[in-house]
Every structure is written in C-alpha cells, then in structure tokens.
Structure 1
C-alpha cells in the first residue's frame, strides 16, 4: 500500500490495515509493529448491567466530551444451531464473552463491547418480543435509498484503543486462540455462531487523513490533518448526544438494555471537498449562520461541548430564506431537554477500499432513530423550499446508504442467546 504523498505507513495506519484484513497473520504483524501490548486485565464479575455503559470508561477532552474509542470491529453473526438455542449454547456464549471481560479491562484502554440480536434471530421462537420492545425489521428510509438489509442473527460491536486487542478477541471467539492477555480461553463461539460479515473502522484526530488513499477521496488528499472523521468536522459533542439513561429501556424483560441501529454509508468526498469550499461545508454540516460568522474553527474543537445552534434559524426558515439548511440545524427540533434522543458511536471505514461511515446508534426505541433519520432527510423541507431533495439539504448528497440493520441489546445478564421473554 502506497500513500499519495509517498510516505511510509505509520503505526496507526498499519494497525487499521491489519484490522481490516483480520486473521492470525494480521495479528502477528500488528504485534510486531506495536509497543502498546501492555493492556490491563479486567473482571467479568464487576461490570455494569448495561452493556452500552461506556461513558464512564472512556477518556474525556477538556470540554467533557467523550473521546471516541479509535479502533472498531463489528462482527455480524449467524446462529449455527437448528431451531432455538439450547441452555448449553447459552452457557458457552456467556463464558466466551466473560472470558473477554476477564482478559481486558472494561475501558477504552482495554475492551468495550455490546452483543445485540436482530429481528431475524427472534423470529425462530414461537413467542414474540414484548410490545414495549420496539424492534422492527430494517427497511429503506428514503426514496433515494436502496440498502441491503441485515439478516444476520447477532451483531457484536467491539472497541479498543489497541487494534491488536480486537484482532486477538476475534481469534479467540472463533476458536483459534487458547489464551487471551494471560487468561485461558475455555469457550468460544465456534459451533454456536459463525461470522457472516466483519466490518472495521476507526475514528479519532488524524486517523482519516492517514487513511485517505481510497476511492471516494479526491487525489488532492484534502482531508484535514487533525480531523476525527472523513468529512472534516467533530461530531461527538457531549450535548449533541443522548445520555445513556435516555437510551436505556426502563422496564420490562429487557430493562437495562437498549436498541441499536447499524448502517453503512459510502462517502462522496470528491464532491464534498472539490465542489464546496470550507464556508459551504460549514453551512451544510452545521448551519448557514456558523458559515457566515466563522463560528467553527478547524474541526470544531472551539465549540466546546455543543454545536452552538442557539443562533441558528429554525430549519424551515433557513431552507426558505438561505436555500441551505445544515445537518445539525435539522436535528434541533428533535432535542429533549437540550439533547438529542439517540446516542451515536459511529466510525469511519475503508471497507471495500472506499471511504465510508459505519453509523452505529443506541436508542430506547428504534422509533427514536426513525424520527431522527426523518429529520435528517428533511423531505418536508425539500418539498416546499428551494433546497431541493438532496442538494443543499444538509449532508445527504454526500452519502449513499448501502446497508441497514436493527438490533436489541439486552442487559448483560441476558446477553447470551436470549428468548423473547428475556430469559437469561
């Protein structure tokens, strides 16, 4: 692999490449190129009941924003058994997951994860999920979408500061390692789950710039050196994220759990960087007011813990008066107590050799995600104002959704092949 600036692949870019390739040889090569192999062990018995409880276990920046965990692996899994899962299989899955938590601390410096189940998984049971659990089958969410719809039974989302940790975990889960960070591996997914698809990626200051030698990025290599995401701006402000409490299922069989939406989008960065200048990009990502008044510096770290939408016009007015409506501007109408209703943990990717985004969100109900997506699509704005259906309508025209999936994330005590009734 050669960079367009004729530079060698630095360690972080190499780790990303190894993670994308996967397998024992990639793990070995990754370990040979890194000096961060001293990873703290953990204890499966001391972890929160919420699988999605990551917020207290990640780094925070000077403004109190959660620093996204840089290396990601999303494994889509097919159940290998016939009929419904057995108690022995549940015990095996739980032991395999608990082994990961004993091997690595529940932390950005160790390993964070969520194990989730799709509508397809629950269809094998005679009984149905409780009415209060909102888990519809995935579908296209706009007239211009034609995504593949995830049919895998489960999705395991893994995150760590260390790419080699994710590679080792994958090897352990597939029965190819007998020890993990000094902990014996006595159970794996082998014979219970098969990996249907693996999705990889990264997020963090400088990582997109180091990984832009792919399709979808113009030859001029314009991704800013310090940007945490391909589109050049920060997105994980504390006040533009729902709290973990807000996205947690409050009662019923799956109390303490949440729902998860996973989608993949190809990014058209040629158009984003070559057609638009910086002022236009700021207007479309945030709002025209921010563009006209130089509110955003660099990637947007100067904004603190919020996107500062107080002076932005309502989306309808901006669309009508300015002919442009910003992505963040459209989200304001959905805020509760000043914050959104979904918690995003998405990450960039070069899967398939193309710049992309794996959008991962957690919400109490999938309906919360659907409402958020409706606001992002802004079909009512496009129908009644000069913005057009996609042009100048936030960032829609720069993304092509290729897949969508919905999942239920049970509480930790029920994460191993649950029944619709929530039996552990």
Structure 2
C-alpha cells in the first residue's frame, strides 16, 4: 500500500512529518506506520539512459495525464574532496546510485531520481562545459526578488509513492544502512558528497489539505480536499508540459541529459483564500475568461489534458480590458508546437514551518527557463490598469522566491561526478 492512501489524515500527516525530520528514528517510525514496507526490487540493466525519463514509469489519471509522484526529497550536496574528483570517488558515487536502482524498481511505486551538478561544481575544473550545454549561474529574475543563489555542488531529486523509501535511500547514501530492500549497499556518499541541506515535500490530491496547518495558510482550513497543490488547482496537464524529448540535450558529451532549475517559494495564501473569491482565484491562476464562464470545476480535473486557454485574450489585452491577467495566460507566448518548453516536477512543502513550493523544472537549456520565468513576471503589463508589478498579475503576489539554483542532469552513464568533457577522467 502506498503511503498516500489508506489510513487517512493522521497517517498522512505523520508520514510528511517523518520525511521532513529525516534520520534513522524517523525511518523506523515511518516503517511502523506502513502496511507494506517491501517494495518491488529494481532491474538496473533495463533502465533508460535519460535520468529524467519518468513519464513512462508513473501513474496516469483518467485523461492520460501523468500523476505527480507524491513524496519528494531534494538532497543538496557538496563535494568533500580537494581539487577535482578522483576515479575512485566516481566509482564510489556510481556504486551508491546503482544500489538505489538495484534495491527499488524505476517506478513511482519504487524510486525515481535525477542526479544533477551545478556551475559551482564544474568551476573546479580548468576545462569549460561544451557549447551544447547552457548552464549559467543562478540569478534573480525580477526587481522584487532577492533569493539566495544556491552554490551547492549537486542536487539529488528523489521521488516515490512511499515516504519510507526516500528515508531509507537517504540513510543508505549516508552509510547508515547495510542493506536496502534486501540489497547489500555497495557504495555510499560518505567522505565524497556531504548532504548540506534537505528539502522535502509532497504533491497529490488531498495531501496539501492534510498539511495546511502551517504558516502561510489561513486557520480556516481553506485548501480544497481534492486539490493537488496548496493554491487549489491542478497544473500538470499533459499539454501544459514539455515532453521529455523537448527538454533533452541533443548533442555533445551530455546528449541524453537535460538541465534543471530548482527554486523555493514561500506561499502567502491569506489573501488568496480570505479576501479573493473563487472568481478571482480562477482568473488569476488561469485567465478572466475562465472565471467569467465557469470553465474550471473544482481543482480543474474537468479540463482533461489541457488548460483550455484557446479563448484567452493576449495578456496585454487582458491587462487593459479586464484589469487582471492569469498565470496560464501569460505563458501562452512561450510555447513550441503548442506546448511549453519546460517540464515541471514541482511540489508543495512545509519546510521551515511555512507553506511553500519547490519549483523543479527540466529544460534543454536554462535559457528556456529564463524565457518562461520572464513571461511569468509579466514585465510590461503594469501601467494604467489595476495590473501592477505583482497585484492582479497572475499569482506573483502570493509567493516570495527564497532560493534559486541551476544544474546539469547528465545521462545516466555519466552521472557520477562528471568532468566538463563528459568523461570519467
């Protein structure tokens, strides 16, 4: 039985707390609350070369949309060695990651992951990344942003239906478990990669409602029971996501890889739920047309595979005529073959005791994310209308960006402490 169903709110709240706390005791307590601690073991010989190839290995809803994997863990890592990584250290990291894949099936019901490396990691080498890789240092994207710009060397993104799988994988990587789902641990991150920060969270129908007793959410328990995210709406429609092919690097030594942007946003939902009504929430999340015509029912499952934005006005026209521009509305100009150019795998969080969103996206080049973020900012929409720099400008006024980081996700065969040339030198 997955940890996101079965025993109701108390169990799910406990699982979230255990994952957020981490450690051996949290793992033990989580296993005590789990009906089925055994998970299907992996078959490492059949794994895709793309680390970001998750779409064929997750559940699908009635419309064919990929269902986001509910439990998430981001381990922000720093290299412990001096100079550049050695061949022995690469073998150690390779063994640690291979152990995870042998222990758990590459599936939402097992464990999915991406291992990624930052500009700070590659800066230790004399050589530069190839022209086929666009990986600039992170930066703020608006005058009202003041995020911490992450300089961690690496980021490991783990996802599973089972919170205890994430906790056990973390303990194995730290060298604190000798076996993992019946598999001997053949390598760890110990003495090579240090866990500098843990970021945790969840996504899926009912999970935000179960975890709304936190700062940033009103005391009135306003988050809908069917909502997969704190703001009350579904966002991962098939046609509002780039395909995995679109975000894959096509040439050079990192062909088959991708880039990753990982940011964190604190959510401030008092006005969203206490002052804004349903009309305003739908208008700001999607577009005024949807609000006026009742296009969105509940969390938006009725929309099928698309946000149904074909009747939305251009953002500039909506700003002048409606005094409000929707978040989805602003994204319409940043599309290729009628789909976005980034693939989002974001999730909600209560890290720091406050409602938040870990925005994790994959794209062929970081510039694709920059273009998307600039559209979200809505620069130029503010003026002689009620649309301001943040107010009535999509959902900007309800979130504060606290962190930003950029990473390269190499292909699986080259994910263990790669050189800029992509070789295990």
Which string of whole-angstrom CA distances, capped at 9 and with x for unpartnered residues, describes residues 266-305 of structure 1?
Answer: 0011111112001100000000000000000000000000
Match of 1:363 in 2: 363
- The list of structure 1 runs, each at least 4 consecutive aligned residues, that deviate by more than 6 angstroms after superposition, is none
Aligned counterparts of 1:275 and 1:372: Cα–Cα separation in 2: 29
Match of 2:227 in 1: 227
Q: 1:98 to 1:141 in 2, by over 3 A?
A: same
Aligned counterparts of 2:420 and 2:385: Cα–Cα separation in 1: 45
Matches within 5 A, 1:373-388: 373-383=373-383, 385-388=385-388
- 8 Å Cα contact 1:11-1:34 kept in structure 2: no
Match of 1:417 in 2: 417
Match of 2:211 in 1: 211
Residue 51 of structure 1: CA displacement? 0.1
Residue 37 of structure 1: CA displacement? 1.3
Match of 1:274 in 2: 274
Aligned counterparts of 2:245 and 2:100: Cα–Cα separation in 1: 25
Match of 1:324 in 2: 324
Residue 45 of structure 1: CA displacement? 1.9
What 5-or-longer segments of structure 2 have no aligned partner? 1-6
Aligned counterparts of 1:86 and 1:35: Cα–Cα separation in 2: 42
Match of 2:402 in 1: 402
What 5-or-longer segments of structure 1 have no aligned partner? 1-6
Aligned counterparts of 1:191 and 1:385: Cα–Cα separation in 2: 57
Aligned counterparts of 2:66 and 2:128: Cα–Cα separation in 1: 36
Residue 385 of structure 1: CA displacement? 4.6
Residue 308 of structure 1: CA displacement? 0.2
Aligned counterparts of 2:78 and 2:214: Cα–Cα separation in 1: 30
Matches within 5 A, 1:9-20: 9-20=9-20
- 8 Å Cα contact 1:44-1:99 kept in structure 2: no
Match of 2:119 in 1: 119
Which string of whole-angstrom CA distances, capped at 9 and with x for unpartnered residues, describes residues 231-280 of structure 1?
Answer: 00000000000000000000111000000000000001111111200110
Match of 2:287 in 1: 287
98-107 vs 125-134, which moves further: 125-134
Residue 36 of structure 1: CA displacement? 2.7
Which secondary structure does the structure 2 equivalent of 1:379 belong to?
coil
Residue 132 of structure 1: CA displacement? 2.2
Match of 2:156 in 1: 156
Match of 1:4 in 2: none
Residue 383 of structure 1: CA displacement? 4.3
Match status 1:174 vs 2:174: yes
Aligned counterparts of 1:92 and 1:140: Cα–Cα separation in 2: 35
Which string of whole-angstrom CA distances, capped at 9 and with x for unpartnered residues, describes residues 4-29 of structure 1?
Answer: xxx99521221111000000000000
Aligned counterparts of 1:275 and 1:360: Cα–Cα separation in 2: 29
Match of 2:237 in 1: 237
Which string of whole-angstrom CA distances, capped at 9 and with x for unpartnered residues, describes residues 297-351 of structure 1?
Answer: 0000000000000111111110110010000000011111110000000000000
Residue 131 of structure 1: CA displacement? 1.8
Aligned counterparts of 1:135 and 1:275: Cα–Cα separation in 2: 41
Which secondary structure does the structure 1 equivalent of 2:75 belong to?
strand
Number of residue pairs matched by the alignment? 418
Aligned counterparts of 1:360 and 1:407: Cα–Cα separation in 2: 11
- 8 Å Cα contact 1:36-1:162 kept in structure 2: no
Give me the TM-score of the superposition, normalised by structure 2.
0.97
35-44 vs 118-127, which moves further: 35-44
Match status 1:25 vs 2:29: no
Aligned counterparts of 1:282 and 1:8: Cα–Cα separation in 2: 29
Which secondary structure does the structure 2 equivalent of 1:390 belong to?
coil
Aligned residues: CA RMSD: 1.1
